[in-house]
A and B are shown apart, each in its own frame.
Chain A
Amino acid sequence: MTDVYRALFVERWPWWAGGVVIGLLVPLLYWLHNTALGASTGYGTLIKVVRPGTKLKWLNSATFADRWGWRLFFVGGIVLGAFIAGRLGGRPPVTAEMGLFSAYVDWPAALKGLFFFAGGGLLGLGARIAGGCTSGHSIHGIANLHLSSVVATVFFLAFGVLATWWVRMMLFGGGS
């Protein structure tokens, strides 16, 4: 395996390289597709794919009119890109591991699943109420100097710190 291959596909990229690529996506998506970088709205599209007949007004707004539209492709692209990264990096294709969480928490699998389901639920509900997520608000929004994105991001981070310390103290026994 060459050093170049290892640096690109096996070793973790330095933070600045990831920041440059993701930062460039913001103007690039406007220039090529006139659209904002963002992930969370795609979940509305995914719901429309599963439940096309839903009567809920918000899911029938113009944003989700084309459920097989580009949002679905962008969301699918994220999964595909990470899948390719995993394959090229020689990592196992499927794993029950979740880092420190698996190392410290020995709950039955169903309870672990429920815990991550609850976390995901708060992410989904919170992102919709706040109007975006880490990519839409924190990166795209602040890069465009939107005040609402700065407020949302301050609360993302503040409550992320609180919840993480709760996990550290209550579930990891204070260690890591």
Chain B
Amino acid sequence: MGNKLGLLVWGAVFGFTLSRTGASEYDLIHRMFTGEDLSLAFLMVTAIVVGAIGMRVLRSRGNRTVHGDLVFVKQKPLSPLNAFGGALFGVGWGLSGACPGTVLAQLGEGKLLAVCTVLGLLAGTYLYAALVERWKWLKA
């Protein structure tokens, strides 16, 4: 239960931050992709750098969790699927002005069209589950 409560809190921190920085604003995503306003791109680069430094610190201190377990970072395999799926995802990102995380923030903000994007995400995920049943190659 502590685990669930903890992740509810960190999810809320994530959602709160996405909302407060404008990552859940259609216009900011649109203008990042047109190059008119790169603040969200800078946000992502900052997050990557801070995350990388944090992971280095974690590793330098024995790579252990607060409970003493070994930290396990699962690496997704490199395959052409990263590119193929990435292209589909990119089109969805450009059309909806959201990604799977920010659309949940849009939902919390009460944006009605985000309900449609979330339903689409559920349908797309379900479609993947159905396709991978037939075509094993879709699973990296």
Q: Is the CB of B121 within 8 A of A158?
A: no
A44 CB to nearest B CB, Å: 6
Please, how many residues of chain B have a CB less than 8 angstroms from a CB on the other chain?
114
Q: Is the CB of B82 within 8 A of A148?
A: yes
Q: Is the CB of B124 within 8 A of A99?
A: no
Q: Who on chain A is nearest to B123 by CB?
A: A121
The interface residues of chain B lying within 8 Å CB-to-CB of A35 are 7
**Residues of B contacting A: mostly:** helix
A50 CB to nearest B CB, Å: 8
B30 CB to nearest A CB, Å: 6
**Residues of A contacting B: mostly:** helix
Q: Who on chain A is nearest to B90 by CB?
A: A159
Q: Check: A74 CB closer than 8 A to any chain B CB.
A: yes
Q: Who on chain A is nearest to B107 by CB?
A: A79
Q: Who on chain B is nearest to A71 by CB?
A: B7
Q: Is the CB of B21 within 8 A of A17?
A: yes
Other-chain residue from A8, A115, A134, A149 in contact with B100 (beta carbon distance below 8 A): A134
B77 CB to nearest A CB, Å: 6
Other-chain residue from A21, A25, A76, A176 in contact with B34 (beta carbon distance below 8 A): A176
Other-chain residue from A12, A77, A132 in contact with B15 (beta carbon distance below 8 A): A77
Other-chain residue from B27, B122, B138 in contact with A43 (beta carbon distance below 8 A): B122
- B19, B36, B73, B90 interface centre (most CB from chain A within 10 Å): B90
Known: A96-B113, A122-B89, A149-B76. A116 touches B39 (CB 8 A): no
B94 CB to nearest A CB, Å: 3
Q: Who on chain B is nearest to A40 by CB?
A: B100
- B55, B98, B101 interface centre (most CB from chain A within 10 Å): B101
Known: A27-B58, A73-B7, A121-B92. A168 touches B34 (CB 8 A): yes
Which B residues are within 8 Å of any A CB, using their own CB?
Answer: 3-27, 30-31, 33-34, 36, 39-40, 42-55, 57-58, 65-66, 69, 71-79, 81-114, 116-130, 132-133, 138-140
Please name 11 pairs of A and B residues whose Cβ atoms are closer than 8 Å in the assembled complex, sorted by A. A23-B51, A74-B10, A78-B15, A80-B15, A120-B96, A123-B124, A124-B100, A133-B101, A137-B76, A148-B82, A159-B88
Lowest 5 A-B CB distances belong to which pairs? A77-B11, A120-B120, A124-B124, A19-B46, A163-B94
